[in-house]
Structure 1
Amino acid sequence: MYPPNLEMQMRRSSFPPPVLKLRKLATLLAPCLSALCAPAAWAQQAGGDAPAASKPAEARDTLDVVTVTATRRREPLRDVPLRVETLSATALEQSGANSLADYIGGLPGIDVKTDGGPGRGSVTMRGVSNGEQQIATVGMYVDEVAFGSSSAFVHGGVQALDLSLLDLNHVEVLRGPQGTLYGAGAMGGLLKYVTNEPDTSTFSGKVGLGVRSIQDGGIGHTENVVLNVPLSTDVAGLRIAAFNEHDGGFIRATGLAAGDKTNAGDTRGARLSLLLEPTSKMKVRLAATTQDIKRDGTDTVDYDATTGRPVVGDLARALATREPYTVKTRLVSADVEYDFGWARLNAIASTQRLDMDTAQDATALLGASAAAFDYARLDNTIGLHKKTQELRLTSGRGEVEWILGLYHDEERGNVGQLLFGQLAGNGGDMDLQANSQPSTYRETAVYGDITWNIGTAWSLTAGARFAKNKQHYAVVGAGPLDSDNHSDDDSKTYLATLRYSLDKTSSVYFRAASGYRPGGPNPPALDGNLQVIPGTPSSFNHDTLWSFELGYKADLLDRRLNLEAALYQINWNDLQQPMAYGVSTLVGNAGKARVRGLELAARYRASADWDLNGSLAYTDPKLTEDAPALGPAGSRLPNVAKIALTAGLRYSFPLAGHESYAGLNLRHVGQRNAGFDAEGSSVPNFSLPAYTMVDANWGLDLGRWQVSAFIRNLTNKQALLGADTALTAFGLPLHATVAQPRTIGGTVSFNF
């Protein structure tokens, strides 16, 4: 796991000993209120985006009923016995959000840590993170399809799906372990992109244009189009969407690769969806999505870990060579649904490809030998081909309801790496090391749950999932680290929920649920003399957690006030973590952790014109047993603020005879640790200061035309959103992710 093969080559080239133990390079080598929607999107829930003027007067005085698919059924959010938030795609677009960090990064209790920009992030929910994720702890879905790798070998822990708002309906955020219905990697929660279905009855479309300007940065723009075509009335429909987006960038580079706006780039994508309803009982949905993210460089800044200040200036870093990257996503899926009356059958299949090319300036890693080169660069080529099949049978509504499913996943991955340098004085390129790391992952799982509705007040749910996976991982071209290893792993997850309806509009629930991440094989480890160390673990085990949650949900004051509260504790065992053996880094299991938290959320429609929202999350995650590679018992887990909150308001008013609105939203994130204080930790600490940011937006509905404007980071706060500290132990700067400076923009769209 994470073979330090390039470090071995450096040793043979008489590079200094500290380089041999660089954990970062080793890692690169293998792989009281929580918002119900995004801060700038609070006033518009999924399914509730119609202009206020088009709603009956009585409807404008009440909150919209939000429907979600969190439990694999369509049901009102209020009736779902777990914490689910919905983010309206329309409102996110109006707020200027254009990346995963914008969508959910401001939700209390959720962290999006980017490894350089869009498409290179990891998501943490409820504090389930050790700072360096080998395998993701939050699952990703597009409609009914699982996305991304379940293994540790294709950088899946830092490849959270950063899907554009292209023809999305809404985004669902499920907190807490979802391992029973959604499987591996959903131990902290789940993020689900829900797309718009074709309309088989009406021809329609939308064209949109947007522009934005970053203070002291570049100009960005967005163009998008959606076309809905009924092929046969009420029988078949086709929906086509495409977009182009340019990000102007705001990072400045000094050194040999000096330049301005070095993190500028483009994102392009398209989506094709076909809906067939040949009978009243049968429904077939076919979809294909493509998206390409291309950036000229990363959006990180060099910071001094000791002083907490930028090394070469605000929004700047020193580069000997540029660090461009691309992320290409391809997803094709089919969902065939048949309603037998007593149950509904879904047969779901997908094939997906994820290709990522990254470049890292490795000049500083050469130490004293760097003088022989103008620069050195480490290129990674990462490829994943994944196929999934799922059969699911869902009963109709009644006293007893049940779900039974069978899931199969096959993945083929490869990581190719090349370390090369340009000799001093532009003396030409020299390859220093090259290797490849092919891997496979195959999983089969059976799952199900059963709900007993006891009278009109009580309901009891029990569920389980049993999964088995087989994996293969090899290293080729790394000299003594060349290997070919296999592993087998079994896992079980469980769910139990008790819900009690206090009345028709409020309920309390208790939920106990477990989650897991798969284990996998390890390569051999080498000592300082490049000899294989006997007895090192040939594989690592899955880690597991149990979550216990007590919650309350209510629609009060004639559906003008919505309240949610959740109190929970998570117990996490056998934490997966990078562990040093000689000059190699493998994955091992050690230590325990627990997370205690409180989440509160409220939405209040004070009148037909005023909407108020607020949310708060208190999260207290700690190690309860020593984790040798991380820290001792009592250490706080990284990337989570103890206190985070949001507050917002929206005012709707007539303007020149048309419906208009204005909104103001605030989010506060408390101090966070980027790692652990323990000496020798594989994730060294850096304190990330608390910050408060304010966004504003305005919009006008002109019938077929809509106009909106936004200001993100209104006060131009220089906030640190995250930090990569792996190199600080060797005297090198840390890479900090900074908040984008004040950004002003607007959109114009036309519906037909």
Structure 2
Amino acid sequence: MYRSVSQLSNTTTSDFPRRKAVSLAVASLLSLACAQAAAQTGQAADPGSGPAADTDSKTEVVTVTATRRREPIRDVPLRVETISTESLERSGAASLTDYVGSLPGVHVESDGGPGRGQVSIRGVTVGSLSAPTVGIYIDDTPFGSSTGFVGEAVSALDLSLLDLHHVELLRGPQGTLYGAGAMGGLLKYVTNDPDPSGLSGKAGLAVRQSRKGALGHTEHAVINAPLSEGVAALRVAAFNEHDGGFLRAIGPAAGKHVNDGDTRGMRLSVLIDPSSKLRMRLTATQQDIERDGTVIAQYDARTGQPLHGELTQFLYRPEPYSIRTGVLSGTVEYEMGWARLNVIASSQRFKAKTALDATEIVGAAGIDFAGLDNDTDLRKRTAEVRLTSSRGPVEWLLGFYHNKETGNRYQRLWAQLPDSSQMDFVTSGQPSRFQENALYGDITWNPSAAWSFTLGARNARNRQVYGTVTNGVKDFESGGKEGSKTYLATARYSIDKSSSVYFRAASGYRPGGPNPPALDQDGSIVPGAPLTFEADKLWSYEVGYKADLLDRRLFLELALFDIRWDKLQQPVAFGVTTLTGNAGEAESKGLELALRYKVNERFSLDGSLAWTDAKLTEDAPALGQAGMRLPNTARFSASVNGRYDFELNGKRAWAGLGVRHVGQRNAGFDTPTSSVPYFSIPGYTVADAQLGVDIDGWELGAFVRNLTDKRALSGADTALTSFGGPLRATPMQPRTVGLSVARSF
């Protein structure tokens, strides 16, 4: 959500226009939630396995645990996608935008580069970087804040491919099993388990370079060592990545490749599996992202053209940022026969520092430059206990979830003067606390082999406190309590052993919270402004068809959905303060189609498409009128990928080509009074290619991303245009060529 610090304006100590300083502080605020969703391939891949050709022409049987039970994806009444880490590595995917943002019907709104983004699915977004609508998990551990108080909405976990088994995406609200913030869906990173059966490992090196960019490189290694054969194992993975950058800057802070930087990470995991009934795992993950600048180019919002040339920024000052993420988690699983007990606990720390060039908004007269610095700090602890019944005519699940978050966001609006001294306009701290307890469960009735019915519910209560500290003086604090209920109902019918149809109705929500007092330009309180905002909620209705056809050579998924969203959370201006309010209704309806086709034992195709019609159905005065499209969602998007396995001088080899299309999107609402200003983002079509060979255990690969060097925009932030600033657009990475080598043992 937008969070105001404009009440600080009456303490500004400069002669610059107070309104511009306040507006900048408010606008700069532009600059997940509960349990597990899993979708796993039927067999965990050995980290050293090469690209062997399939032994037959049938598609792989993929199983999922999205309902907390392992079952074929065809039998799950839910649209689930799994993305193989192996395929991502071979394609050169390096960020959340690469491996999730390219999925039809999914959008990653970037706020300047890796680690700075927000995921939306099926059009569930109003375009402002507010509280998240998609939950994010690492294995069984939820990541990030459930609110927008600490800026988590612009910090979706951009976990590099650090010894991941796969990435999975669940579309549609997951509020019953996963709680607050999963109203649009859920994204999960699934890591590789330690293997007690033997010593193994993998090491690799990759280099890549974008057109007109600098050389980048990645080094990674993983080692799996048994601590007690068949009982316990230790797995350690580490990587270092240098991004050479491709943007140039002109102006006082001119430079080449200004968006270069490094990402480093490490994971240590211990698995103890002493019996067939008991299993324990402890995992620690650390990742640091550091960039010298943002992936931003300034555009003219009226003409849609770059202001300073393609892939070019104008900077009075650099815009470096850093994001540090640390997660410690522990899981215990015990099979009691009549039910399985899972106990999960986690602790995480998130710290981010960002810098914004604010000169064009504050004004350059009499100063070298103006800047807005943001420091974000989040500490989060979770605990979950879950019981899952054994298989039978009646199955059930019961769980309890506890979450405690403490956060703070510190902002400093300042200027550097010609004598190199610094002057503060205003500083603000925004401390917050959030605590949630939830009881959830479901019950499934299987009256026959063909029919299955499920009912589920979740009852959650949260308590939160939010305040502001202006220039070191605490001036506001407010708290509140809130309860929310979500529901789930599904019905599945197996037409035969290879196909099924389903119906799913599910609800989701985001928590409400307190607002600070609204102030006018003189610092006086504006009467009638909302002191709190409510939770916004939605219901989703989905029918789908899943089938293995053509003797299991073709797997097909078709889903039709209709989402009704009420009391939309949105930024609302009162005086010079931007609060969060509730208004309007929206609907998102659409169709999704996905298929995997095994043409023969060597050639395979997979493709998907999404048609989404997301729009306001009731006026939302701070956004737009009924009938206006919701932002950041293309009406049509699609992708198709082909892979061919062959032999090259007796060695196993492969080649792949992928093409993806994203249609036109709106960044905001086309009305002058909207708090999310309008910009039309053109559609684009890009292609990627890869080639590789396995030579006696050495895997050599090459890839090209954006093969035709298409100039396109993956997103745009219009927040500053209302205050006289430029439109900050995120250009797509130009053609990038890479080579890799890896060795397994």
Corresponding residue for residue 549 of structure 2: 556
How far apart, in 2, do the equivalents of 1:548 and 1:89 lie? 31
Name the CA distance, whole Å, in 2 between partners of 1:313 and 1:55: 42
Conservation of the 8 A alpha-carbon contact between 1:173 and 1:189: yes
Provide the rounded CA distance (Å) in 2 between the counterparts of 1:453 and 1:584: 55
Partners of 1:743 and 1:299 lie apart in 2 by: 15
Q: CA deviation at 1:45?
A: 6.3
Q: Distance in 1 between matches of 2:18 and 2:138?
A: 46
* Distance verdict in 2 for CA 1:629–1:55, change over 3 Å: closer
Q: State the shift of 1:719 in Å.
A: 0.6
Is the Cα contact below 8 Å between 1:480 and 1:532 reproduced in 2?
no
Which residue of the partner structure matches residue 511 of structure 2? Answer: 518
Q: In 2, distance between residues paired with 1:53 and 1:185?
A: 37
Q: Distance in 1 between matches of 2:327 and 2:696?
A: 35
- Within the candidate set 424, 427, 438, 1:431 is matched to 424
Partner deviation per Cα, 1:527-580 (whole Å, 9 max, x = no partner): 122111234222111000000000000011121100000001000000000101
Return the alpha-carbon distance in structure 2 between the equivalents of residues 111 and 376 of structure 1: 32
What is aligned with 2:357?
A: 361
* Residues 589-616 of structure 1 deviation map (CA, whole Å, 9 limit, x = unaligned): 1100000110001111010011012211
**d(CA) in 2 for partners of 1:225, 1:601:** 34
Q: Counterparts in 2 of 1:82-97, with a 5 A limit?
A: 82-97=78-93
Please say if residues 704 and 750 of structure 1, whose CA atoms lie closer than 8 Å, have aligned partners that are also in contact.
yes
Taking the aligned partners of 2:246 and 2:462, their CA distance within structure 1 comes to: 44
- Among candidates 342, 362, 366, match of residue 372 of structure 1: 366
Counterpart in the other structure of 2:571: 578
Read off the aligned partner of 2:668 and give its amino acid letter: G
Deviates more, 1:397-406 or 1:60-69: 60-69
Cα offset, 1:277, TM superposition: 1.2
Deviation string 1:417-456 (CA, Å, 9 cap, x unpaired) is 11221112x3411122222111100000000011111211
**Equivalent-residue separation in structure 1 for 2:379 and 2:575 (angstroms):** 33
AA in 1 matched with 2:257: K
Amino acid in structure 1 at the alignment position of 2:384: E
What's the TM-score once normalised by structure 1's chain length? Answer: 0.95
2:455 corresponds in structure 1 to 462
Q: Please, which of 629, 633, 638 is the counterpart of residue 626 of structure 2?
A: 633
Q: 2:466 aligns with which of 470, 473, 476?
A: 473
- Whether 2:354 is the aligned partner of 1:322: answer no
Q: Distance in 2 between matches of 1:159 and 1:231?
A: 37
Mapped to 1, the partners of 2:689 and 2:634 lie a distance apart of 24
* Cα distance in structure 2, aligned partners of 1:91 and 1:146: 25
Equivalent residue, structure 2, for 1:138: 134
Distance 1:188 1:538 in 2: 27
Tell me by how many angstroms 1:665 deviates. 0.4
SS class of match (2:255)? coil
Tell me how far apart the structure 2 counterparts of residues 394 and 703 of structure 1 sit (CA, whole Å).
45
Distance 1:54 1:266, change over 3 A: closer
Distance of 2:175 and 2:151 partners within structure 1: 21
Amino acid at match of 1:672: R
Instruction: Provide the residue aligned with 1:407 in structure 2.
Output: 401
Mapped partners of 1:730, 1:473: distance in 2: 26
**Closer/same/farther in 2, CA of residues 29 and 189 from structure 1, 3 Å limit:** closer
* 2:673 aligned partner, one-letter code: G
1:213-224 to structure 2, matched below 5 A, reads: 213-224=209-220
Contact 1:47 1:67 survives alignment (8 Å)? no
Contact map agreement 1:4 1:29 (CA 8 A) in 2? no
> Bigger CA drift: 723-732 or 253-262?
723-732
Q: Structure 1 pair 117/437, CA: closer, same or farther in 2 (3 Å)? A: same
Corresponding residue number in structure 2 for 1:41? none
Contact 1:52–1:659, Cα closer than 8 Å, also in 2 = no
Structure 1 match to 2:207: 211
Question: Equivalents in 1 of 2:41, 2:667: separation in Å?
Answer: 33
Q: 1:643 to 1:57 in 2, by over 3 A?
A: closer
In the alignment, the residues of structure 1 paired with residue 595 and residue 512 of structure 2 have an alpha-carbon distance, to the nearest angstrom, of: 39
In the superposition, relative to structure 1, how do residues 7 and 734 fare at CA in structure 2: closer, same or farther (>3 Å)?
farther
Q: Distance in 1 between matches of 2:22 and 2:625?
A: 21
Alpha-carbon separation, structure 2, partners of 1:588 and 1:528: 20
- The DSSP-based 3-state class of the residue aligned with 1:454 is coil
- Any conservation in 1 of the 2:7–2:519 contact (CA below 8 Å)? no
Q: CA deviation at 1:732?
A: 2.5
Q: Residues of 2 paired with 1:600 and 1:29: CA distance?
A: 37
* Corresponding residue for residue 34 of structure 1: none
1:659 corresponds to 2:652: yes
Match of 1:398 among 392, 401, 413: 392
- Report the 3-state secondary structure (helix = DSSP H, G, I; strand = E; otherwise coil) of the residue aligned with 2:28: helix
Superposition map of 1:722-733 within 5 A? 722-733=715-726
The answer to which of 627-636 and 47-56 deviates more is 47-56
1:660–1:9 distance in 2 versus 1, CA, 3 Å? farther
The letter of the residue matching 2:240 is: N
Q: Please name the residue that 1:168 is paired with.
A: 164
Q: 2:275 matched to which residue of 1?
A: 279
Amino acid at match of 2:562: Q
TM-score (norm: length of structure 2): 0.96
What amino acid is the match of 1:259? G
User: Secondary structure at 1:70's aligned position in 2?
Assistant: coil
2:733 matched to 1:740?
A: yes
Aligned to 1:4: 5
- Structure 1 residue 727: deviation in Å? 1.8
1:488 aligns with 2:481: yes
Q: Is the 8 A contact 1:53 1:659 kept in 2?
A: no
Q: Distance in 2 between matches of 1:243 and 1:392?
A: 34
Assess if the C-alpha contact under 8 Å between 1:10 and 1:20 holds in 2.
no
Summarize the Cα distance change of 1:581–1:57 in structure 2 as closer, same or farther, 3 Å threshold. Answer: closer
Distance 2:14 2:235 in 1: 57
State the SS of the aligned residue for 1:92.
Answer: helix
Instruction: Give secondary structure in 2 for the equivalent of 1:82.
Output: coil
Change (3 A) 1:692 1:58: closer
Equivalent residue, structure 2, for 1:28 = 28
Residues in 2 aligned to 1:544 and 1:366: alpha-carbon distance in whole angstroms = 38
Deviations 1:86-131 (A, max 9, x none): 0011110111001000111111000001100000000010000000
- Counterpart of 2:260 in structure 1 is 264
Question: CA offset at residue 7 of structure 1?
Answer: 6.8
Kindly state the Cα deviation for residue 676 of structure 1 after the two structures are TM-superposed: 0.2
Q: Secondary structure at the match of 1:439?
A: strand
How do 1:533-552 and structure 2 match up within 5 A? 533-552=526-545
Report if aligned partners of 2:353, 2:373 keep a CA contact under 8 Å in 1: yes
1:77 deviation in Å? 1.5
| 1: CA distance, partners of 2:54 / 2:740 | 30
Name the aligned partner's letter for residue 63 of structure 2.
Answer: T
Q: Distance in 1 between matches of 2:661 and 2:166?
A: 24
Aligned partners of 2:27 and 2:719 also within 8 Å: no
- The answer as to 2:436 corresponding to 1:440 is no
3-state DSSP of counterpart to 1:157: helix
Query: CA 1:174–1:609 in 2, change beyond 3 Å: closer, same or farther?
Result: same
Residue ranges of structure 2 left out of the alignment (5+ in a row): 32-39
* Residue among 684, 687, 704 paired with 1:711: 704
The aligned length equals 736
Q: What runs of 5+ residues in structure 1 fail to find an aligned partner?
A: 32-43
Return the offset for 1:279: 2.1
Q: Deviations over 1:278-321 (max 9, x none)?
A: 22210001000000000000001000111111111110111110
Q: Secondary structure at the match of 2:337?
A: coil
Give the aligned residue type for 1:8. Answer: S
Tell me which residue corresponds to 1:507.
500
> Which of the numbers 380, 383, 389 marks the counterpart of 1:389?
383
- Choose which of 286, 297, 307 in structure 1 pairs with 2:293: 297
Q: Is the alpha carbon distance of 1:478 and 1:548 closer, same or farther for their aligned partners in structure 2, counting shifts above 3 Å?
A: farther
- Matched residues in 1 for 2:231 and 2:42: separation? 25
| 1:58, distance to aligned residue in structure 2 (A) | 7.7
Other-structure match for 1:38:
none
**What is the letter of the counterpart of residue 596 of structure 1?**
K
* Alpha-carbon distance, 1:398 to partner: 1.2
Question: Contact 1:46–1:86 at 8 Å: present in 2 too?
Answer: no
- 1:187 alignment counterpart: 183
